[in-house]
Amino acid sequence: MATLCRPTIAVPEHTITLQDTLDLAREVHQDHPQLELALRLIRNTGVEKRHLLRPIEETLKHPGFAERNAVYEVEAKARVPAVVRQALEDAELRPKDIDVIIYVSCTGFMMPSLTAWLINSMGFRTDCRQIPIAQLGCAAGGAAINRAHDFCTAYPEANALIVACEFCSLCYQPTDLTVGNLLSNGLFGDGLAAAVVRGRGGTGVELERNGAYIVPNTEDWIAYDIKATGFHFKLDKRVPGTMEPLAPALKQLAGSHGWDAAGLDFYIIHAGGPRILDDLSKFLGVPPEAFRFSRATLTEYGNIASAVVLDALCRMFDEGGAEESARGLLAGFGPGITAEITLGRWRTAGLDPLAVPVLTSVTEGA
């Protein structure tokens, strides 16, 4: 089975703290009639610090969509190779061992995709497949894992490379003054990630099943208005409540695999905001501590879009991974409203799973 190996994460060098964000909001939007509401919502995000591509003085300016997109391309080419090289090293593979590159991003646009540049610049084979995904937003991290799983299921000896590149600060729009956008200005951060899915071998999450679900008639709840000034983020106030209809989809997928979604050993969840995690804890029936990796990402980096699930997984690796055969769930949420869900077990390279007893949760078989 395919194994999702240790991800590599990188964040830009410029930072902004929660207090900086609140002070800026008071300065820039001092006459906004709903400023106090926006400030309260920003405080409640739990985001203590975010990383930005540019110093805050430059981030607040809008030189035009063309210039911003040019910055996106230059910075992606400057920063992505390092995370790719480290992800390959951690998976004990070389560029020529990769059969497909899945590139996800919703904060800039390139055609051809950055995948073509990576193939030409980093020694990947010229017959390496390309799967760029640009319109799934934060859910794309989960989608990339699932498409890599699908590819390695179809081609069992193949290896897939996942790359997520999100420069959310390049989408700041100073003229968008709704409370939702003011909240977003204090929630999203910049980050990059890469991870390898090995068709054979590797230490990490051995992928067993994946699925997707879309909440009916919610396609305009998270969206972009595309204007001359670029991508204008739209966020409906009903979005934080979407875990109630999404939790049953997670339960159903786990149930179809013979697992109880409330009794798994680890959870790697997209941290769109604290209520997402709080509600999912409630509706799945798992303790809040189960989402500690996702909460840490939110606190230290903010919402880094498609890179969140990879960062949360990296934090689990940093903690020492999981017990052999431990069962887990990964999920990314985004526009649609879409959920991309993965089930898998922890595997250690070179360890015979038949020699290790399978862990059974307390709730299973009760």
Using alpha carbons only, give the angle 316, 321, 326 rounded to the nearest 5 degrees. Answer: 110
pLDDT score of 229: 92
Please count the other Cβ atoms lying within 10 Å of the Cβ belonging to residue 352.
8
Q: Is the dihedral angle over the CA atoms 46, 48, 51, 55 positive or is it negative? A: positive
For CA atoms 42, 183, 294, 362, give the dihedral sign.
positive
Q: What CA–CA distances, in Å, run from 336 to 149, 313, 324?
A: 22, 24, 35
Q: CA separation (Å) from 257 to 209, 211, 254, 333? A: 8, 11, 5, 21
Q: What is the pLDDT of residue 52?
A: 97
Q: Which CATH architecture has domain 204-347?
A: 3-Layer(aba) Sandwich (3.40)
Please list the residue range(s) of the chain that carry CATH number 3.40.47.10.
3-198, 204-347
Which H helix or E strand runs over 87?
A: helix 65-90
Q: pLDDT-based confidence at 349, cuts 50/70/90?
A: confident
**Nearest Cα to Cα of residue 248 among 290, 275, 280:** 280
| CA separation for the pair 198, 95 (Å, rounded) | 13
Cis bond before residue 248 (omega within 30° of 0): no
Confidence of residue 236 (pLDDT cuts 50, 70, 90): confident
Q: Which of 5, 106, 128, 138 is catalytic?
A: 138
Sequence-ordered strand ranges (E) for the chain: 3-4, 8-10, 14-17, 49-52, 100-104, 129-133, 159-167, 190-198, 204-218, 222-227, 230-235, 266-269, 327-334, 336-347
Q: What is the mean pLDDT of residues 280-305?
A: 96
Evaluate whether the domain defined by 3-198 bears CATH number 3.90.1150.10. no
Q: From CA 147, how far away is CA 114, in angstroms rounded? A: 18
Q: Residue 184's pLDDT is what?
A: 86
Angle in degrees, CA 247, 253, 257, rounded to 5: 140
Inform me whether the pLDDT recorded for 346 exceeds 90: yes
The model carries a pTM of 0.92
User: What's the rounded Cα separation, in Å, for the pair 102 and 162?
Assistant: 5
Q: Evaluate if residue 266 carries a pLDDT over 80.
A: yes
pLDDT digits (tens, 9 = 90+) for 19-69: 999 999 999 888 899 999 999 999 999 899 999 999 999 999 999 999 999
Question: Residue 363 pLDDT > 80, yes or no?
Answer: no
Q: Return the C-alpha torsion angle 89, 92, 94, 98, nearest 10.
A: -110
Tens of pLDDT, residues 64-120:
999 999 999 999 999 999 999 999 999 999 999 999 999 999 999 999 999 999 999
Q: For the chain, give the number of residues.
A: 366
Q: What is the pLDDT of residue 178?
A: 86
- pLDDT for 361 beyond 80: no
- Whether residue 358 is predicted with pLDDT greater than 50 in this model: the reply is no
| Residue 208: pLDDT over 80 | yes
Burial of 86 (0-12, 13-18, 19+ CB in 10 A): middle
**Rounded to an integer, what distance in angstroms lies between the CA atom of residue 276 and that of residue 290?**
13
Once rounded to an integer, what is the mean pLDDT over residues 121-140? 96
pLDDT at 354: 52
* Percent of the chain clearing pLDDT 70 (strictly above): 96
Round to whole Å and give the CA distance between 236 and 179.
10
Token output for 160: 């897939």
Model confidence band, residue 364 (pLDDT cutoffs 50, 70, 90)? very low
Residue 158: per-residue pLDDT: 98
Nearest CA among 6, 93, 10, 91 for reference residue 321: 6
* Residues 334-345 pLDDT 10s: 999 999 999 999
**For the segment 146-204, what is each residue's pLDDT rounded down to a tens digit?**
999 999 999 999 999 999 999 999 999 988 888 888 888 889 999 999 999 999 999 99
Angle (nearest 5°) at CA 85 between 112 and 161: 55
Which residues, including other chains, have CB under 8 Å from residue 158's CB and lie 6 or more apart?
99, 100, 151, 152, 199
138 is a catalytic site residue: yes
Percent of the chain with pLDDT over 90: 85
DSSP 122-155: HT--TT-EEEEE-SSGGGHHHHHHHHHHHHHHHS
What mean pLDDT, rounded, does the chain reach?
Answer: 93
For residue 271, the model assigns a pLDDT of: 83
DSSP 251-300: HHHHHHTT--GGG-SEEEE--S-HHHHHHHHHHHT--GGGGHHHHHHHHH
In the predicted model, what is the mean pLDDT of residues 316-320?
A: 96
Q: Would the pLDDT of 366 be above 70?
A: no
In the chain, the amino acid numbered 312 is A
